[in-house]
Structure 1
Amino acid sequence: MSGHNKWSSIKHKKAREDAKRGQIFTKLIKEITIAAKNGGGNPENNPRLRIAIEKAKEANMPKQNIEKAIKKGTGELPGVSYEDVIYEGYGPGGVAMIIEATTDNRQRTTASVRHLLSKYGGSLGETGCVSWMFDYVGYITFDKNSTDEEALFEAALEAGASDVRENEEDGIFEVITDPKEFVAVKEALEKQGFKPSSAELTRIPQTTVKLEGEKAITMLKLMSALEDDEDVSNVYANFDIPDEIMDQFNQ
């Protein structure tokens, strides 16, 4: 879990920096559009759309941009047709990777993902080659210093969470949910006054590969390069890296 959490902190910091330059808007618009296309334009009945709208608001996306993206997804406005694509493969040191993308040109995106993996010592694999190594879950975190442990545990389990645990290394409490219960659990906890530090649908590795030295740096460069790709929406990998290397990369 430590590798997952540390990369998440880098990813969230990077997202804030990208938002300042407006670079994150393109990915958010794609996600809103395809969420509306697949599940309808009402966020009350479409959890994926609700999550996408929340992320857009956190990035200070103008309301009219959000509304336009929804209407493009539902067909009320003309727009590009997007599709979800999931790639599986390997990074340096045999690290298992899952790459989620939203694209209007599968051939272009596949070529880009293959190129980046190859550039940093990885390779594209077949569907199903590594997905079994990850659990797809709802993942909500709370700061230990500002959260009542017993109250959170009781409220989370009562709300339908599948697991609640303490992560001493990262100074957080982790609430794990079934993906279908993620929004309901998150909203139930917020109504009781708990403020999440982060909340997302994610893929958590069952085991991790320890990387050090040059392989660790190369792996972080690969993750960052994939995150920078306009079509890539999420990247997951089962690596763990020493704190000093993570901290150096995060500066």
Structure 2
Amino acid sequence: MTRYLSIIFLTFISTLAYSQIVINEISYNPPESGQDSLEYIELYNLGSNAVDLSNFEFTSGINLTFDTGISIEAGGYLIVCESSDAMMNVFGVEGIVWDGGMSNGGEAIALKDAAGVLVDSLSYDDNAPWPSQADGTDGGGASIELCDSTSDNTLGANWRAATNDIGMIINGAIVLGTPGVANTVLCETQPNHIVNAAGLSFTPKDITIEIGETVRWENTSGNHNVNGGLDVYPNNPEGIFSGAPEAAPWIWDYTFNIPGIYNYQCDLHVGAG
């Protein structure tokens, strides 16, 4: 049986613009008993110029208006926190104290500039796709860190539980985090779509994706390959080829950056019906 999959791209121009100042690390439920003095939010300036934060304010999640003269240099970090003394004692970094506190179960955080224009906002959670207690955060000792400061920080999949051990244990939990310095977690490439290869078919057979998305083929049974080479399908925008047919299990990822319709086959089964 002949099987193929058509990939139809949606060509688009993104209108999203990410702020120069980003919420980059959050500690919302440190491993303390009683008051959580080690709650903090890290802001990062990913731009090439310093940013004056005078009269910027957090309007959701916590309450804080920055004093005149507060700024973040290019590539710099700024910590806002529950307790400046606790941050200095545990992490050796200074922090600006807020009013209120953070919810252990997740909530919205919003930062606006002096004119009331939204600078950055997100709604974190303590359940997947956000890092959870099972990952070592949410009371387990780890903050959560943006795995790539240029990625969309509103998506839980772009956050990871911190792994940097500062050499301190509180209530039996190792304290992990990087307030005031670069995050140490890395983003793992995750596919946007998964196609299963088993028997005589690819499932799903047809999908529509956007430019820049990654498709993963998973061979769970039998011998298969993915062959969309130009020698087989000359009308494909470019050739795709996983290699010769191989026995399960295997996975193969491909990121599509050229729009168009792509067809492919499994070489072993193309003439099966």
TM range (shorter): under 0.3
Give the structure-2-normalised TM-score. 0.22
If the length of structure 1 is used for normalisation, what is the TM-score? 0.23
Greater strand proportion: 2
Q: Which has the higher helix share?
A: 1
Larger radius of gyration: 2
